[in-house]
Amino acid sequence: MIVRRTATWLDERFGTNTFLHAALAKIYPDHWSFYLGEFALYFFMVLVGTGIWLTFAFDASAQGAYPSVLALADRSHPIGYVIRQVHHWAAVCFVAAILVHMGRIFFSGAFRKPRELNWMIGVCMLMLASFTGFTGYSLPNDGLSGTGLRIAYSVALSIPLIGRWAAGVFVGGDDFPAPLLTTHLYTLHVYYLPVTIGVLLALHLFFVVYQKHTQFVRDPKRVVGRRFWPDYALRTVAALGATLAVLALMATFFEINPVGDYGPYRPWIVMNGAVPDWYAAFLEGALRLGPRTEFVIAGHPIPPVFWPGLVLPTLTFLFLLAWPFIEVRVTGDRAAHDVLQRPSAVPLRVAVGAALIFEGLLLTIAAGDDQTAATLHVPLDTLVWIYRVALLAGPFAVGLLAARIAVEVHVRTPDDGPPRPDAVVLVRNAAGGYVEEEVQAG
């Protein structure tokens, strides 16, 4: 009753009923893999919700940050404890969900024309989500995250020509740690970064609705799927519930980020096994494997952290961003596509995707190379060289193997047949009998 009256009230002022009617009746293609983006969205919503609560509990000054987070890590105050735990778990899961979702988009070819812009927005959001996570877990100014910040400062410093400018902006001062560092990280983390993600997210979702979702059903002219109300709405709400349930279960059983054990950050104190959160671990691995050569140009050094710490992630980001256009160049397929492909249909894409995943996994594992060396009784120097060789030769081997497998799988996959016809008509043939004819509308 209330709903109906509200709808009428709005309709009299904004003419919303037509829009609502269309929105509720809209068809959405359904496949289990289409929920991955939703999981990312729901993790983001949880981050914003728990994050807003946390802004009332956090002291964003350099001196006050650690004690205020220690108070939240106190188990005798369960509400703050659980909210902070859920917030950090959601961040870990958010980037993972984006990555898995991005993998689905990549391997099914959903980024092709007319959706290249949406792909680029998504890649940007992946980067922003990683930065938001990094600034977020650096806010407590604890021993573990402070070590990571020091390394990030060195990477910023290593940029040729503008290194000190970049580092100075990042850190808000002359040296590390600058007094304003925590405050700057705070405004980045609660304002600039999430607002940017929010705006991009709104665009991202708008494009999906406006251009209509892609589908596996091979009918290029029609969207085939479930109606939004009540069918798809209930399913998406169930996915939201599952997301929140999983986060709550994680917070119930597993502690994350025990800042009380890490102590406050001091520049002369470090702990063994200091690694960043998982989504930055590939950079840590790259820094460990990177060569030690310091190039000098006319007396100006380019520190070795520049290459693995900045050049590598920038090139990766640009490559991902440009992939829709690269693929068009290589395959020559400039047509618009609304129907998704089986991954095996494009071996090049499988090869490139597999190679990228291999490199990412290898660098992430390399972030723990000292522990691996000790566990396997292999000298660390040897292991580093093994990883380096694998880094350079691996993507080619993995890519070729993946392409080969894709080709073989594709050959053995029963064809779905031609696209569904728009109509089947009975036609009288010359002999007087009737014959079925499939008609594709022009």
By CB under 8 A, the residues from 259 to 278 that bind other proteins are 261-263, 266-278
- Region 175-214 residues binding other proteins, contact defined as CB under 8 A: 175-177, 211-212
From the list 10, 82, 180, 203, which residue makes contact with other proteins (rule: CB under 8 A)?
A: 82
Strands 423-428 and 434-439: antiparallel
Query: 158-178 as b/e, with b when 16 or more CB fall inside 10 Å?
Result: bbeeebeebbbebbeeeebbb
Determine the 3-state secondary structure of 72 from DSSP.
helix
Closest CB to other proteins among residues 14, 210: 210
Tokens 């001091």 map to which residue? 266
- Distance, CA of 292 to CA of 303 (rounded, Å): 8
Q: Which of 169, 195, 318, 407 binds other proteins (CB under 8 A)?
A: 169
Query: What is the distance between the alpha carbons of residues 86 and 47, in angstroms, rounded to a whole number?
Result: 8
Interacting residue with other proteins among 205, 238, 397, 427 (CB under 8 A): 238
Among 220, 360, 419, 421, binds other proteins (CB under 8 A): 220
Residues from 322 through 381 that contact other proteins (CB under 8 A)? 336, 338, 368-371, 373-381
Do the Cβ atoms of 149 and 298 come closer than 8 Å?
Answer: no
Using CA of residue 218, residue 223, residue 227, residue 232, what is the dihedral sign?
positive
Q: Does 123 bind other proteins (CB under 8 A)?
A: no
Per-residue binding string, other proteins, 16-55, x by CB under 8 A, is ----------xx--x-x--xx--x----------------
Nearer to other proteins by C-beta: 64 or 301? 301
Among 49-57, 292-300, 310-318, 343-351, the segment contacting other proteins (CB under 8 A): 292-300
Nearest distance from C-beta of residue 419 to other proteins, angstroms? 13
Name the DSSP letter for residue 176: S
- Is position 304 an interface residue for other proteins (rule: CB under 8 A)? yes
Kindly state the tokens that stand for 153: 């400062």
Q: Rounded to the nearest whole angstrom, what is the least distance from the CB of residue 55 to other proteins in the complex?
A: 20
Q: Inter-axis angle of helices 380-412 and 369-376, to 10 degrees?
A: 100
239 binds other proteins (CB under 8 A): yes
**From 21, 227, 329, 404, residue interacting with other proteins (rule: CB under 8 A):** 227
CA-to-CA distance for 44 and 419, rounded, in angstroms?
A: 37
